[in-house]
């Protein structure tokens, strides 16, 4: 089996699952957002890995260069990064409002307060 | 020829080392409970992934990730920490059985899915055999931009990029409304 050729994808899966685990197992909302970011970046790495050609260069046309890596995943991921920071900003703002309303950013304490009322 | 071969080996080595760094850092983020350290680590994580993008020839993605992921996201998170708290409450258990089970099953399914993926950097992978060559060959001539990523983003797909601006605009309005509503209530 081609372990070196699949190493990128496997690390991507490890990162993805670490991010996923942080999101579903940690109660702190800020940590959840950080976990979501890890997950997101791992998807970026997956796409860029697929676009890479060994021996190619960055897709900027220059004389004397014949092999370029695939530019299309790069375009997709540029859009994804910018949209990602927009969602992160919105999520963090919601956390600030939750802190103002409940006085905590821990999921368990928020649920406790909701049950008490 | 031998020199070119050596260059490729180094290319793959750098790739492997940076990826391993990322994995270590993700585990660090999982285990740390000081949120300030977590946010700093996630900034470094973004920066190293930007370095990884450079080794994989995605220079445009790399500087966007370094500026937006490593810069703006980190600043936003630090601002959030300043307005909330930088201590995470102790979790029920460091390793929780149901989330772990979900993660391992999903991960195993994904690893099974990678087994017939094309090898990293293979020029014959299906992704390289479709339209990419046409953009490389015709892009600079058709748009006048030598950087093909910019040509696709701002010329071939400029409407999509405008749609992306709408997304950012909407998010910006959302942030302003949410924060604005809070400050008005505090004044009352």
For residue A13 the two structure tokens come to 């899966």
State the complex-level ipTM. Answer: 0.91
pLDDT at residue B185, as a whole number: 55
For residue A67 the two structure tokens come to 């092999």
pLDDT at residue B182, as a whole number: 55
Q: Does A76 touch chain B (CB under 8 A)?
A: no
Q: What is the mean pLDDT of chain A?
A: 89
pLDDT at residue B46, as a whole number: 93
Q: H or E element: which one contains A48?
A: helix A29-51
pLDDT at residue B144, as a whole number: 85
Task: Map residue B22 onto helix, strand or coil.
Answer: helix
B119 with A99: Cβ contact below 8 A: no
For residue A31 the two structure tokens come to 């940590």
pLDDT at residue B187, as a whole number: 47
pLDDT at residue B2, as a whole number: 62
* pLDDT < 50 stretches in chain B: 187-188
Give me the tens of pLDDT residue by residue for chain A, a chain 117 residues long.
Answer: 577 788 889 999 999 999 999 999 888 899 999 999 999 999 999 999 988 888 888 888 888 888 888 899 999 999 999 999 999 999 999 999 999 888 888 888 888 888 887
pLDDT at residue B88, as a whole number: 80
A92 with B20: Cβ contact below 8 A: no
pLDDT tens for each residue of A6-27: 888 999 999 999 999 999 988 8
Ordered by start, the domain boundaries in chain A are: 3-116
Q: In chain B, positions 134-153, which contact chain A (CB-CB < 8 Å)?
A: 135-136, 139-140, 146-149, 152-153
* A49, A77 Cβ separation under 8 angstroms: no
- The backbone torsions φ and ψ at residue B87, rounded to the nearest 5 degrees and listed phi first, read -115, 130
Residue of B nearest to A43 (CA): B49
* B121, A4 Cβ separation under 8 angstroms: no
Residue with token string 């790069």: A74
A72 with B58: Cβ contact below 8 A: no
The domain defined by A3-116 folds into Helix Hairpins (1.10.287)
Residues of A in contact with B49 (CB under 8 A): 41, 44-45
- The backbone torsions φ and ψ at residue B128, rounded to the nearest 5 degrees and listed phi first, read -90, -5
Q: Does A108 touch chain B (CB under 8 A)?
A: yes
């Amino acid at each position: 089996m081609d372990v070196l050729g699949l190493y990128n994808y496997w690390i991507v899966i490890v990162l993805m699952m670490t991010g996923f685990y942080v999101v579903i197992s940690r109660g702190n909302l800020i940590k959840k957002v950080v976990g979501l970011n890890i997950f997101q970046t791992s998807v970026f790495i997956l796409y860029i890995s697929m676009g890479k050609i060994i021996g190619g260069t960055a897709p900027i046309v220059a004389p004397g260069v014949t092999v370029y890596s695939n530019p299309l995943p790069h375009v997709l991921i540029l859009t994804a990064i910018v949209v990602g920071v927009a969602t992160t900003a919105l999520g963090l703002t919601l956390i600030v409002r939750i802190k103002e309303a409940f006085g905590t950013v821990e999921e368990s304490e928020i649920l406790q307060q909701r049950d008490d009322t | 020829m031998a020199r070119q071969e050596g260059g490729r080996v180094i290319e793959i080595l750098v790739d492997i080392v940076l990826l391993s760094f990322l994995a270590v850092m993700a585990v660090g983020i999982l285990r740390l409970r000081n949120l300030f350290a977590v946010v700093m680590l996630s900034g470094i994580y973004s920066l190293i992934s930007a370095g990884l993008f450079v080794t994989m020839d995605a220079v445009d993605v790399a500087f966007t990730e370094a500026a937006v992921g490593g810069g703006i996201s980190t600043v936003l998170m630090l601002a959030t920490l300043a307005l909330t708290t930088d201590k995470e409450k102790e979790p029920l258990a460091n390793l929780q059985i149901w989330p772990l089970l979900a993660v391992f099953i999903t991960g195993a399914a994904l690893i099974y899915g990678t087994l017939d993926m094309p090898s990293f950097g293979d020029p014959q992978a299906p992704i390289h055999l479709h339209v990419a060559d046409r953009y490389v060959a015709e892009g600079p001539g058709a748009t006048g931009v030598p950087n093909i990523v910019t040509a696709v983003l701002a010329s071939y797909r400029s409407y999509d990029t405008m749609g992306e601006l709408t997304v950012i605009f909407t998010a910006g309005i959302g942030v302003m409304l949410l924060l604005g509503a809070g400050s008005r209530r505090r004044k009352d």
